[in-house]
Amino acid sequence: MSTVDVVAARSGGPVADLRHGRWTLQVRGDEVADVRFDGVLLLRAVRPVVRDADWNTVPVRVLASTVSPSTGSGDGGGSGDGGGPGDGGRGVALRRSLGFEAEGVEYAGELTVTLEDGSLVVGFVGEARSAFRRNRVGLVVLHPAACAGSAVQVRHGDGRVEDARWPVPIRPHQPFVDVAGFAWTAGGVTARLGFAGDVFETEDQRNWTDASFKTYSTPLTRPFPVALAVGDRVEQTVRLDASGHSSTPPARDTDVVRVGGTAVGTVPPLSLGAALHPAPAAPLVVEGVEAVLVELTGPEEGWSALLAEAGRQASALGAGLDVRVVTADPEAARRAVRGLAGHPVLRLAAFDVEGHVSTPPLWAALQDEARRQALAAVLLGGTRAHFTELNRRQADLPADASALTFSLTPQMHASEVPHVVDSLATQRTVVENAVRIAGGRPLHVGPVTLTRRFNAVATGPRPDPATEAARAVDPLLDTGLAAAWTLASVAALAVPGVAGLTYLETAGPRGLLDGGGRPRPVAAVLTRVAGLRGRTLRATSLPDGLAALAVDDGGGTLVLLANLTPERRSVALAAAAGATAEAALGAWGTAEVRLG
C-alpha cells in the first residue's frame, strides 16, 4: 500500500466537516475533533471509548451516518459564513451508529453531535452485545495540551467551584477529580463545559506523549474491571457553550523556516533495538550507530541466544550493547550479568517484569554483580515503559543510578494519524520533564517506536515475547510518514541532558530493513542522524506541520526537513547569517538543505 492508502486507512473512519454560525469541527469516525468557536480551538476532541480489562481500546467502525438540521432554533447567530453541513439559521445534527468489536467484545453505540448557535452537545448511548469485562465505557474529552498553565474553573459534583490552573509540569496523577464541568476563556472566547451521565475526572495524557489533558468517566478509585452483561447500557452527554469573539490574530500563511544563531545542544548518539522475533537473515550495516539495545525477556534459558543474536547485529554495526534484563528475580539478574562476559556492553539495566521499573532488590543485585564482574558499563535506572512510570515512581528511582531511561510511543491511547503526528510536540515537553527528574544525570530515551512494544498496564497473563513482538508491527513503518515522524521525533528529543536516543529495530517487521532486507524510508533518516552525532544544533522557527533538525556543517548549516502533512510544501529557509535556500517537500516527505 502507498503512504496515501495507509494514512487514509488510519484516518479514523468517514470524515465530515460540520459548520454552523461560528462553530467548526470535524467528525472523524467516532471522534468529534478540532472543536473551534470563532476560530479558537476549545477542545481537541470528544469521543466514546470502550476499554477492555487490559485497557486496550476496542476498535470501532462506523455502521451508518446521517446529517440533518437540528430540531432547535437559532437566535440569529447561525448566519452561515462558509460552505458545509449546518450553515443557516437552524442548527445541525449528526448521528452515527457505531460498532465496537474485538476478541470477546461486542458493543453497539450511537453518537450524536448537535450544533446550535451557542452550544455543542455530544451524546453517546451504548449497549453491550456480548458479556465482557470492561475498565471504561463512555465519553472522553481531550483538552489541548496548550492549556498548560492557563486558568480554569472546575465545577464539582456537589456544586463547589474551584479556581485552578492546568498543570505545567506533567502531573503524575489526576489534576482534577469529581468533575461536573469546566469554565475558561481562550483567545477572547468564554467557554463552559458540562458532563452528565457519570462522575468524571481528568488525567494528564502528556505522560504518554498525547497532546492533551483527558477528562473521562468512571473514576479510577472505583474497582475495575467490571463485568458487563448483554444489554447493559451507558448514556452520557457533554455540552459545550461558547460566546465572545476571537482576539487571536490570523496565522501567517507562509512556509518559512528560520535558522537562528543560538546553539541549543548537540545531536545525541543513536542506538537501535535488536531484531529478535524473528532475527534477520542478514544484519543491518550502517555507520555511526552507538549501540544495539536488547531486552532479555521470556524464559531465562533463552537469554543467552537473545544476547548472542544482538551481539551479531551489534558487531555488524561496529556498535556496543545496551542490555535490559526483565525479571522479577534478583538472582536471575545476577546470572544475566555473569553471562555478559566477552560482550561489548555499554549500558545495563534491570526492570521488574510486572511493574517495568528498576525495583530496589533488582537494582541492588545488578549493581553488586556488575561490581563483582568488573563490568565497565553505565548502569541505568528508570523504566522500560512509558514516561508515566518514571514520573509516578520518582521516589523509587535508585539514587545512585549513573543515568536514567524511559521508552516512548505515540499510540498508547489512539492510533489515528492526526494523534500520532500531534504527539511530536508533546515529546519535547516529556523529555524536558524527564531531564528535570534526572537531576543532572544523563538521560537515555528509548526504544522509541511507532506502536507500543508491550501492554504496560495489562491485568491478564502476559503473552510470550514473540507474540508481543508480532502485535507491535505497524503498517505505517513502511511509509514516508514514518520517516518524517522519526526525523521530527529526533528534533523534539534532542535537548541538553539527553545522552542517547534508541529507535525501532535494526531489521525485520519493526526495523530499518524490511523482511527482504530492503531499506524502509525511515532507514535513510536514521542513517543520516547517526552520522551527525555530536554536531551542534541550532534553534529553528517553524510554521505548523513542519519539523527541522539544523546542525553546523563546516562553515554553514545543514537542515533536515520533515513535512508532517498530506500536502506538498514549498519552503523558504533563512539563516541568521543571511544565507537563504528553498526546498520542495512532497506529502509526508523529507528533504536535506544546506545553508551557506
Question: What DSSP line would sit under 55-107, residue for residue?
Answer: -PBPPEEEEEEEEEE-SS---S-----SSSTT-SSS-EEEEEEEEEEETTEEE
Q: In angstroms, rounded to a whole number, what is the distance separating the alpha carbons of residues 565 and 429? A: 22
Report pLDDT for 459: 82
> Considering the domain boundaries, does residue 467 fall inside one?
yes
Q: What is the mean pLDDT of residues 400-427?
A: 95
Q: In angstroms, rounded to a whole number, what is the distance separating the alpha carbons of residues 310 and 287? A: 17
> Considering the domain boundaries, does residue 278 fall inside one?
yes
Say if CB 175 and CB 166 are below 8 A apart: yes
Look at residue 129 and tell me whether its pLDDT is greater than 90. Answer: yes
- Are residues 475 and 348 part of one domain? yes
Say if CB 236 and CB 194 are below 8 A apart: no
Say if CB 64 and CB 29 are below 8 A apart: no
Q: What is the mean pLDDT of residues 312-326?
A: 98
Of 512, 533, 554, the position where a domain reaches its end is 533
Report pLDDT for 7: 83
CATH code where residue 508 lies: 3.20.20.80
Q: What is the mean pLDDT of residues 241-253?
A: 83
- Which residues neighbour 444 within 8 Å (Cβ) at sequence distance 6 or greater? 322, 347, 380, 403, 404, 405, 498, 499, 500, 501, 502
Could you tell me which of 403, 378, 379 has the C-alpha nearest to residue 390? 403
- Are residues 521 and 444 part of one domain? yes
Q: Which amino acid is at 72?
A: G
User: Hey, what long-range contacts does 73-79 have (CB within 8 A, 24 or more apart)?
Assistant: 74/21, 74/116, 74/117, 75/117, 75/118, 76/117, 77/21, 77/22, 77/117, 77/118, 78/20, 78/21, 78/116, 78/117, 79/21
193-211 as b/e: b if 16+ CB within 10 A = bbbebbbbbbbbbbbbbbb
- Are residues 513 and 553 part of one domain? no
Q: In angstroms, rounded to a whole number, what is the distance separating the alpha carbons of residues 545 and 280? A: 35
> Considering the domain boundaries, does residue 395 fall inside one?
yes
Report pLDDT for 252: 63
Report pLDDT for 79: 30
Could you tell me which of 23, 214, 278, 237 has the C-alpha nearest to residue 125? 237
- Are residues 272 and 236 part of one domain? no
- Which residues neighbour 30 within 8 Å (Cβ) at sequence distance 6 or greater? 12, 13, 47, 48, 60, 62, 96, 98, 109, 111
> Considering the domain boundaries, does residue 221 fall inside one?
yes
Q: In angstroms, rounded to a whole number, what is the distance separating the alpha carbons of residues 446 and 464? A: 21
Look at residue 89 and tell me whether its pLDDT is greater than 60. Answer: no
CATH code where residue 550 lies: 2.60.40.1180
Q: Who has greater pLDDT, 455 or 325?
A: 325
256-266 sheet: strands from edge to edge? 580-585, 569-575, 256-266, 536-541, 546-553, 556-563, 590-595
- Are residues 520 and 569 part of one domain? no
Q: What is the mean pLDDT of residues 479-501?
A: 98
- Are residues 567 and 457 part of one domain? no
Look at residue 1 and tell me whether its pLDDT is greater than 90. Answer: no
- Are residues 520 and 488 part of one domain? yes
Q: What is the mean pLDDT of residues 360-385?
A: 97
> Considering the domain boundaries, does residue 3 fall inside one?
no
> Considering the domain boundaries, does residue 5 fall inside one?
no
Report pLDDT for 526: 98
Report pLDDT for 353: 95
Look at residue 87 and tell me whether its pLDDT is greater than 60. Answer: no
> Considering the domain boundaries, does residue 9 fall inside one?
no
Cα dist from 488 to 411, 477, 547, 550, 560, whole Å: 16, 15, 5, 11, 9
Q: In angstroms, rounded to a whole number, what is the distance separating the alpha carbons of residues 430 and 76? A: 45
Domain limits for position 58: 14-244
Look at residue 359 and tell me whether its pLDDT is greater than 50. Answer: yes
pLDDT tens-digit readout, 12-50: 889 999 999 999 999 999 999 999 999 999 999 999 999
Question: What are the residues facing 109 on neighbouring strands?
Answer: 98, 126
- Which residues neighbour 330 within 8 Å (Cβ) at sequence distance 6 or greater? 361, 362, 364, 365
Mean of per-residue pLDDT scores for the chain = 94
Q: What is the mean pLDDT of residues 53-82?
A: 72
Q: Which amino acid is at 7?
A: V
Report pLDDT for 85: 53
Report pLDDT for 417: 94
Cα dist from 9 to 14, 120, 302, 417, 420, whole Å: 10, 28, 38, 9, 14
Report pLDDT for 72: 60
Q: What is the mean pLDDT of residues 289-297?
A: 98
Report pLDDT for 253: 59
Backbone angles phi, psi at 465, to 5 degrees: -55, -35
Residue 471, H or E segment: helix 465-471
Instruction: Tell me how crowded residue 29 is: count the other CB atoms within 10 A of its CB.
Output: 20
Report pLDDT for 346: 99
- Are residues 452 and 576 part of one domain? no
Say if CB 85 and CB 66 are below 8 A apart: no
Backbone angles phi, psi at 25, to 5 degrees: -160, 170
Confidence of residue 254 (pLDDT cuts 50, 70, 90): confident
Burial of 44 (0-12, 13-18, 19+ CB in 10 A): buried
Q: How many domains does the chain have?
A: 3
pLDDT tens-digit readout, 524-574: 999 999 999 999 999 999 999 999 999 999 889 999 999 999 999 999 999
Q: What is the mean pLDDT of residues 351-358?
A: 96
Say if CB 588 and CB 3 are below 8 A apart: yes
Look at residue 211 and tell me whether its pLDDT is greater than 70. Answer: yes
- Which residues neighbour 8 within 8 Å (Cβ) at sequence distance 6 or greater? none
Measured CA angle at 399 (ends 396, 405), to 5 deg: 75
> Considering the domain boundaries, does residue 42 fall inside one?
yes
Please tell me whether residue 298 adopts helix, strand or coil conformation.
Answer: coil
Look at residue 379 and tell me whether its pLDDT is greater than 90. Answer: yes
Look at residue 82 and tell me whether its pLDDT is greater than 70. Answer: no
Q: What is the mean pLDDT of residues 268-288?
A: 96
Q: Who has greater pLDDT, 124 or 9?
A: 124
Give residue 408's Cα distance to chain centre: 7
- Are residues 328 and 301 part of one domain? yes
Backbone angles phi, psi at 287, to 5 degrees: -100, 150
pLDDT tens-digit readout, 139-197: 999 999 999 999 999 999 999 999 999 999 999 999 999 999 999 999 999 999 999 99
Look at residue 53 and tell me whether its pLDDT is greater than 50. Answer: yes
Q: In the structure grid, which three cell numbers stand for residue 265, read together? A: 545542544
Q: In the structure grid, which three cell numbers stand for residue 66, read together? A: 446521517
Q: What is the mean pLDDT of residues 427-437?
A: 98
- Are residues 290 and 257 part of one domain? no
Confidence of residue 350 (pLDDT cuts 50, 70, 90): very high
Q: Which amino acid is at 275?
A: A
Sole residue written with cell 521525533: 489
Confidence of residue 83 (pLDDT cuts 50, 70, 90): very low
- Are residues 195 and 184 part of one domain? yes
HSE of 513 in the Cβ direction (CA atoms, 13 Å)?
A: 18
**How much of the chain exceeds pLDDT 70, in percent?**
96
- Are residues 233 and 130 part of one domain? yes
Report pLDDT for 80: 33
